[in-house]
Amino acid sequence: MVRINKLAKDLGFKNSFLIEKCQEYGFVHIKHHANALTDEQAGLLRSKLVDRAAQSVSIKEKPDTSQVKKVSTEKKSSGPAKVVSKDAEASAVRRRIPLWKQKAREDLIKGRWKEITKVSQQKRPRRFEKRTKEAPKEVKVVAPKEKESKVTVELPATVKDVSAALGVKAGDIISKLLIGHGLCATINQGLDGEIVEMLGIEYGVEIELKQAKEDEDEFSLEEAVDKDEDLKERAPIVTFLGHVDHGKTSLLDSIRKTDIVSFEAGGITQHIGAYRVETKGKSVVFLDTPGHEAFTAMRARGANVTDLVVLVVAADDGVMPQTEEAINHARAANVPIVVALNKVDKPEANIMKVKQQLASLDLNPEDWGGKVQMIETSVVTKQGLDTLYDGLLLEAEILELKAVAKKPARGIVLEAHVHEGRGVIANLLVREGTLKHGDIVLCGQTYGRVRAIYNDHGKEIKEAGPSTPVAISGLSTCPEAGDKFYSIKDIQKAREIASKRERKIREVTLSGRQHVTLDNLYKKIEEGQVKEIKVILKADFKGSVEVIKKSLEEISTKEVRTRVLHSGVGGITETDILLADASDAVVIGFHVVPEDKAKTLAESCGVDVRLYKIIYDATNDIKAALEGMLEPDKIENTLGSVEVRKVFKVSKVGNIAGCYVKSGKILRSSLVRLIRDSVVLYDGKIATLRVVKDDAKEVRAGFECGIRIAGYDDIKVDDIIEPYEIQHIARTLK
């Protein structure tokens, strides 16, 4: 049975023409192109149409155009013409066949049936043939990208960017991230640099990470190399730290020779937080921070604001808990310390006792052979003020503090607030360059043009050089304390960078910053982020502090160690949490609990706080964490011996070794070595392990099996395949 549409396609006719012929030849049941003819009817119809057309062509090879026109005219006038002669029938056939098919019909009549059938199916339209032939060329253009050994990826990068750089499908990368790294990602999700580099290693491509152009422009000031001839000496920046009521503010007020209480009333500089003092042609900038909280917040943002720290200790009170905290803050910021022994005029002052306490904290005075200046001062009698000032200048000379003034300004934001009449007032400390009126300033997530500059005395100035504290107006919003500010030329670029920073901070806020905890410590170690455990220790008694601190230090080794950043007596305070947040440390409390505010702050910052009642519990947890940092021992265990007795070559698969297990066993998951003449030729994995036609997980001695080694086909008879496995044994500190 042959359908009309199939036969019409084979003969090159229209369905309507073939249905008309069927009616003419007596096949009255054919009324639709889906009707079918028997094989005999189809053969009869094919022979009649082909034979008659052939006879007409034999009479006259070229068609008579006049006759065709005549028949066409007759059709218009009298309806469909009946076939009365061979010429008329041939003309009727041509009349119903499109012009582009007439050549095919003539070739068909000449006997090239099979060829013309293929041509008729693919002939129209010709332009599609070119596209079909050219299509494979477009696919081949992408192929060389996969062979590149080194590519450059610009950060921040998404899965789509990495896919384009590596020449790998985005779906494959998403699957690899999910299976290999446990990361559920989308095609537009951003990836950090470590994940991007890891993907490059897994695909065998070296990836060079590159920051975006905006970031390069943003940090061009910081990365620029200054010329030696442009460097000029700058004033040191000094911060006063110490315990409450030890006289920090009074001492700073005496050095500045001002009265803060009367000076701040009604002035916009009452919160500037930094003051410049000039004596004998030398200048020193004093930074007045509101306690350790602001100091830590600035350092947590990577802003090393101060060059020197003055540790104020009352001679009548001695070293107090906040004094130790101040020392730890200064050491964590890696800045020199100058000790001011204040209130020496009081009868109960005991200078020798204070020096002994400081010496126990590794602050040895110069008169005892140490390196720390300890200057006796008194606000009442003005004793030692000039000596302290000279000591700070001496430390500054040793540090060789220099800066370039002839370049765009950059520095640190001390604090900011909103003034009713002037808008946003930002208190800045210029570290390098010169800040001028009208400059475009970018700091953190905000930007703006400098409309006014005020010095530390409240006077409006036109420009400010290095180591100069100023207050400016003109920013769009209040920046954060500790943000770095830059002076750039293009306000459009400043707007783009500020918007980008705002989006990035929003993403970080949503994802949350993850601190080191004893639970996630091992994961951090695998990522290469942790080399030591930083601890902040608080206990109920001084003796407990010393015992726990000594125990933690004793379990340290050359490979891993515990570093106690701060230890003290009393409850866990907000200062402890801030220090842990800035230093990424773990807080340990022994028979103490955190304050309400400290507990809330720890939860919001994600700081790990561990409370213990037994010393051994604390040391055991730290010991277990340290042992997890040790690299495990790797022991190789040979599983057996397998002999290759025959090699089967399978197309599109590779060589398969027909083997006999001589001893031991071989596992599907085991590693294997291929040995020939006692020489190891290849070390790799098993791709397939089968017994007859079934996959096997294990084959023991005395049985035969088929083995295909992954990525290796040079297998010969009498080779030895040695299966083995590597056991990872956890190490202990002992």
pLDDT at residue 416, as a whole number: 79
Give the model confidence (pLDDT) of 671-691 as tens digits.
999 999 888 888 888 988 988
pLDDT at residue 212, as a whole number: 54
Tell me the pLDDT band of 349, cut-offs 50, 70 and 90: confident
Strand partners, 471: 427, 454
The CA-to-CA distance between both ends of the chain, in Å, stands at: 89
DSSP class of 383: B
Write phi, then psi, for 245 (nearest 5 degrees). Answer: 65, 20
Q: Reduce the secondary structure of 437-473 to three states and give it as a string.
A: CCCEEEECCEEEEEEEEECCCCCEECEECCCEEEEEE
188 assigned binding-site residue? no
Helix (H) or strand (E) holding 357: helix 351-360
Does residue 78 sit within a domain?
Answer: yes
Does residue 350 sit within a domain?
Answer: yes
245 assigned binding-site residue? yes
The 3-state DSSP class for residue 315 equals coil
pLDDT at 123 over 90: no
171 assigned binding-site residue? no
Give the model confidence (pLDDT) of 597-628 as tens digits.
888 888 888 888 989 888 878 888 887 777 66
Task: Answer whether 443's CB lies under 8 Å from 249's CB.
Answer: no
Write the CATH number for 327. Answer: 3.40.50.300
How many CA atoms, within 13 angstroms, populate the side-chain half-sphere of residue 282? Answer: 14
446 assigned binding-site residue? no
pLDDT at residue 219, as a whole number: 47
For the chain, helix, strand, coil in percent to 5 are 40, 30, 30
pLDDT at 389 over 50: yes
| Domain count of the fold of the chain | 6
Helix (H) or strand (E) holding 653: none
436 assigned binding-site residue? no
pLDDT at residue 141, as a whole number: 38
Cis peptide before 236, with omega less than 30 degrees from 0?
no
Q: Are residues 587 and 620 in the same domain?
A: yes
Cα separation values, 483 from 234, 480, 583, Å: 21, 6, 18
Could you give the CA distance from residue 707 to residue 23 in angstroms, rounded to a whole number?
A: 69
Q: Are residues 554 and 626 in the same domain?
A: yes
Q: Are residues 289 and 349 in the same domain?
A: yes
Residue with tokens 């494979």: 136
Average pLDDT over residues 241-258: 79
Using CB atoms within 10 A of its CB, is residue 48 exposed (0-12), middle (13-18) or buried (19+)?
Answer: middle
Tell me the pLDDT band of 264, cut-offs 50, 70 and 90: very low
Task: Answer whether 17's CB lies under 8 Å from 96's CB.
Answer: yes
pLDDT at residue 720, as a whole number: 92
Average pLDDT over residues 346-366: 89
343 assigned binding-site residue? yes
pLDDT at residue 435, as a whole number: 92
Could you give the CA distance from residue 605 to residue 649 in angstroms, rounded to a whole number?
A: 62
Does residue 392 sit within a domain?
Answer: yes
Does residue 365 sit within a domain?
Answer: yes
292 assigned binding-site residue? yes
Residue with tokens 């110490």: 242
Q: Please tell me which residue, 625 or 263, carries the higher pLDDT value.
A: 625
Tell me the pLDDT band of 534, cut-offs 50, 70 and 90: confident
pLDDT at residue 441, as a whole number: 92
Q: Are residues 338 and 481 in the same domain?
A: no
Q: Are residues 120 and 32 in the same domain?
A: yes
Query: How would DSSP label each residue in 563-593?
Result: EEEEEEES-B-HHHHHHHHHHT-EEEEES--
User: Which two structure tokens, joined as six digits, stand for 354?
Assistant: 């204070």
Give the model confidence (pLDDT) of 420-471 as tens digits.
778 888 888 898 889 999 999 998 888 999 999 988 888 889 999 898 889 9
Task: Answer whether 539's CB lies under 8 Å from 592's CB.
Answer: yes
pLDDT at residue 644, as a whole number: 92
Q: Are residues 246 and 387 in the same domain?
A: yes
pLDDT at 716 over 70: yes
Q: Are residues 360 and 240 in the same domain?
A: yes
pLDDT at residue 659, as a whole number: 93
248 assigned binding-site residue? yes
Average pLDDT over residues 121-129: 48
Give the model confidence (pLDDT) of 154-179 as tens digits.
776 788 888 888 888 888 888 888 77
Residue with tokens 């947040």: 581
Could you give the CA distance from residue 256 to residue 269 in angstroms, rounded to a whole number?
A: 15
Q: Are residues 392 and 529 in the same domain?
A: no
Does residue 223 sit within a domain?
Answer: no
Residue 694, domain extent:
634-729
Strand partners, 472: 426, 453
Average pLDDT over residues 722-729: 84
pLDDT at 321 over 70: yes
Q: Reduce the secondary structure of 673-699 to three states and give it as a string.
A: EEEECCEEEEEEEEEEEEECCEECCEE
Cα separation values, 516 from 513, 532, 588, 697, Å: 10, 11, 13, 40
Could you give the CA distance from residue 505 to residue 501 in angstroms, rounded to a whole number?
A: 6
Tell me the pLDDT band of 334, cut-offs 50, 70 and 90: confident
Average pLDDT taken over every residue of the chain: 75
130 assigned binding-site residue? no
Average pLDDT over residues 184-211: 77
290 assigned binding-site residue? yes
Pairing between β-strand 586-590 and β-strand 609-612 as defined by DSSP bridges:
parallel
Q: Which amino acid is at 478?
A: C
Q: Hey, how many other C-beta atoms are within 10 angstroms of the C-beta on 68? A: 15
Q: Reduce the secondary structure of 510-528 to three states and give it as a string.
A: HHCCCCCCCCCHHHHHHCC
Cα separation values, 480 from 14, 362, 447, Å: 81, 34, 12
User: Which two structure tokens, joined as six digits, stand for 339?
Assistant: 């000790």
pLDDT at residue 706, as a whole number: 92
Write the CATH number for 626. Answer: 3.40.50.10050
Task: Answer whether 239's CB lies under 8 Å from 289's CB.
Answer: yes
Could you give the CA distance from residue 7 to residue 44 in angstroms, rounded to a whole number?
A: 12
pTM above 0.75, yes or no: no
Task: Answer whether 411's CB lies under 8 Å from 278's CB.
Answer: no
573 assigned binding-site residue? no
Could you give the CA distance from residue 405 to residue 467 in angstroms, rounded to a whole number?
A: 10
Q: Are residues 100 and 43 in the same domain?
A: yes
User: Which two structure tokens, joined as six digits, stand for 306?
Assistant: 């101060």
302 assigned binding-site residue? no
Does residue 262 sit within a domain?
Answer: yes
587 assigned binding-site residue? no
291 assigned binding-site residue? yes
Per-residue b or e along 362-390, where b marks 16 or more CB atoms closer than 10 Å to that residue's CB? ebbbeeeeeebbbbbbbbeeebbbeebbe
pLDDT at residue 525, as a whole number: 54
How many CA atoms, within 13 angstroms, populate the side-chain half-sphere of residue 428? Answer: 37
Write the CATH number for 698. Answer: 2.40.30.10
Residue with tokens 């004033």: 235
Does residue 137 sit within a domain?
Answer: no
Residue with tokens 């009126």: 437
Lowest mean pLDDT among 176-185, 567-576, 701-710: 176-185
Q: Are residues 106 and 171 in the same domain?
A: no
Does residue 420 sit within a domain?
Answer: yes
What residues contact residue 213 under an 8 Å CB cut-off, 6+ apart?
none
Task: Answer whether 540's CB lies under 8 Å from 592's CB.
Answer: yes
Tell me the pLDDT band of 632, cut-offs 50, 70 and 90: low
Task: Answer whether 466's CB lies under 8 Å from 438's CB.
Answer: no
Tell me the pLDDT band of 145, cut-offs 50, 70 and 90: very low
C-alpha angle 594/597/599, rounded to 5°?
Answer: 45
Q: Are residues 56 and 197 in the same domain?
A: no
Average pLDDT over residues 529-540: 77
Tell me the pLDDT band of 507, cut-offs 50, 70 and 90: low
Domain termination site, one of 400, 426, 442:
400
Q: Please tell me which residue, 157 or 147, carries the higher pLDDT value.
A: 157
Q: At what angle do helices 248-256 and 385-399 cross, to 10 degrees?
A: 90
Could you give the CA distance from residue 332 to residue 311 in angstroms, rounded to a whole number?
A: 14
Q: Please tell me which residue, 222 or 5, carries the higher pLDDT value.
A: 5
Q: Are residues 199 and 257 in the same domain?
A: no
Cα separation values, 36 from 1, 27, 669, Å: 6, 10, 61
Could you give the CA distance from residue 375 to residue 283 in angstroms, rounded to a whole number?
A: 20
243 assigned binding-site residue? yes
Give the model confidence (pLDDT) of 537-584 as tens digits.
888 876 678 778 888 877 777 667 788 888 887 889 888 888 888 888
pLDDT at residue 440, as a whole number: 92
Residue with tokens 């020798």: 352
Strand partners, 674: 682, 721
Closest to 430 in 3D by CA, of 494, 495, 487: 487
pLDDT at 318 over 90: no
Domain termination site, one of 400, 426, 452:
400
Tell me the pLDDT band of 515, cut-offs 50, 70 and 90: low
pLDDT at 147 over 50: no
pLDDT at 84 over 60: no
Task: Answer whether 678's CB lies under 8 Å from 637's CB.
Answer: no
What residues contact residue 588 under an 8 Å CB cut-off, 6+ apart?
535, 536, 537, 538, 548, 610, 612, 618
Domain termination site, one of 451, 486, 511:
511
